[in-house]
A and B are shown apart, each in its own frame.
Chain A
Amino acid sequence: MLRHPPTAGTDFSDPFLTLSDLTMSDTADRIRTILAQHAKLAKDASTLTEDADLYQAGMSSHASVNVMLALEGAFDIEFPDHMLTRSVFSSVGAIRSAVEELTGA
């Protein structure tokens, strides 16, 4: 789905950048901000690639619950039970696709 290897930021000099890329990147950056506040990662959340494993980066299952509650508040969504899985919260990209599913983006 991405034409490029996942990167932390958005390359605005990319001539093939589309509106959809911008929306995706905005959501991903909001997710990174929430991760910085709640995930208790061992590394700087703003440098996380889309597919970096958050549990490997130090997120505990309790921290993932904080992330879930913060996401619900920030995006005005509620994760249904069937989405309360380890994998849904395992990376910026996985969280983004779940958030987009719930916001209908």
Chain B
Amino acid sequence: VNYARRLGGGTGVAGIIGALQPPCLPARPAVPQATELAERLAPALQAQGAGVRVGIDTVSVPAIAESMARFGERFLARLFTPQEIADARAVEGEPARHERIAARFAAKEAVIKALDLPEAGIGWRDIELTRGPGGRPFLALHGRTATLAQAMGVREWAVSISHERDHACAVVVAVLGADAATPADGGH
């Protein structure tokens, strides 16, 4: 299956990446970023059939608590969506809230690992851990990150989170092999 053709006619990977760049980018990060991304995207775009990518991350809960104490609201507002903050505040007690924030941080890192995007320049709030019916966690991607995941052929995400006192972790699975017309933002 030629995903590049499905995605954009004759534009190819470079065209897709070019379209993702906001017009106001300074020259220095834009040029190597586009090249690196195109190199990374190519194998996924050329992949035959479905595949999966997995990402996992472990976070220290006390370290998250320390960041929240040091930077206050700015730490939360910069990294987490209003829904994520509301979900964390819905539990009783500071330790439980810290665990929830830590798990959400781990989920964001795990997504970046799953798609191998440390150099993509991913906005933290573009990756949201939210809850579906019955309280099951699921991932919602937004903005440029959603576009990028779709361009990489992500059809569906699965996520599981865990925390135990000092540690929180998240594992995410990206199911590849998407029809380009399918939205990549998470819902089921």
Chain A residues at the B interface, C-beta cutoff of 8 Å = 38, 60-63, 65-66, 69-70, 73, 80-88, 97, 101
Contacts and interface: CB of A to CB of B under 8 A. Distances in A.
A86 B119 contact: yes
* Chain A residues touching B, majority SS: helix
B67 A81 contact: no
Contacts of B126: 81
Interface of B: 21-22, 25-26, 28-30, 33, 59-60, 63-64, 67, 70-71, 74-75, 78-79, 105, 109, 118-124, 126, 144
Contacts of A62: 59-60, 63-64, 67, 105
A65 to B, nearest CB: 7
Contact of B121 (A60, A69, A70, A83): A83
Given A61-B109, A62-B105, A69-B78, A82 B22 contact: yes
B67 A85 contact: no
Contacts of B71: 66, 69-70, 73
Given A62-B64, A62-B105, A69-B75, A81 B59 contact: no
A33 to B, nearest CB: 15
Contacts of B144: 81
A64 to B, nearest CB: 10
A14 B74 CA distance: 42
A66 B70 contact: yes
B75 A85 contact: no
B48 to A, nearest CB: 30
A51 to B, nearest CB: 17
A97 B32 CA distance: 15
Given A85-B118, A86-B118, A87-B118, 15 more contacts: A60-B63, A62-B59, A62-B67, A66-B67, A66-B70, A69-B67, A69-B70, A81-B126, A82-B21, A82-B29, A83-B29, A84-B123, A84-B124, A86-B119, A88-B29
